[in-house]
Amino acid sequence: MATDNIKTITKNKKAYHDYFIEETMEAGIELSGTEVKSIRNGAVNLKDAWCSIDAGEVFVNGMHISPYEKGNIFNREPTRPRRLLLHKKEILRLFGKMKQQGYTLIPISLYFKNSLVKVQLGLCRGKKLYDKREDAARRDMKREAERYLKERNA
């Protein structure tokens, strides 16, 4: 089996803070040429991005790709909705889960797989404030335990 050449472009760290990620999947994304060049320069932001399903197609909304500086008339609007490429069965399954169980579809990361731009999507459930506090407390306890062990071994 050939190894895939994967290069991460950006991650949505806010998604891990605000949501429980139940399931992840990979999707292609429909882009114009200047958008790909801008992504290669790292001028993309997933912070406020979310996905919607309209007429049997999945779109990512709120993903900001800065205009390519040498793109002149070929540049597109930075926050336009972009179509994601998924199989029809996957779209129907996601649509059912989003409607019945209250899940949200969030882009988690953007990366190059060989020469193609791919999006990692997460089927997410929102965290309540007490869940966020619990995660912060758990992270702090882990950090203190590691610090204690490091001081003790040194």
Model pLDDT for residues 20-71, shown as the tens digit of each residue: 888 899 999 998 888 888 888 888 999 889 999 998 899 999 999 888 887 6
Q: How far apart are CA 116 and CA 104, in angstroms?
A: 25
Domains in the chain, start-ordered, CATH in brackets? 6-127 (2.40.280.10)
Shortest CA distance to 63 belongs to which of 27, 113, 21, 20? Answer: 27
β-pair partners for 6: 113
**Residue 71 CA: distances (Å) to CA of 40, 64, 83, 143:** 14, 16, 21, 46
Residues above pLDDT 90, as percent of the chain: 36
Q: Which residues of 102-115 are buried (b: 16+ CB within 10 A; e: fewer)?
A: ebbbbbbbbbbeee
Shortest CA distance to 50 belongs to which of 40, 36, 64? Answer: 64
β-pair partners for 84: 29, 58
- Tokens representing 136 are 């912060």
pLDDT score, position 1 = 46
In the DSSP assignment, the letter for residue 74 is: G
- pTM (predicted TM-score): 0.77
Q: How far apart are CA 44 and CA 67, in angstroms?
A: 10
Predicted confidence (pLDDT) at residue 2 exceeds the cutoff of 60? no
pLDDT score, position 88 = 93
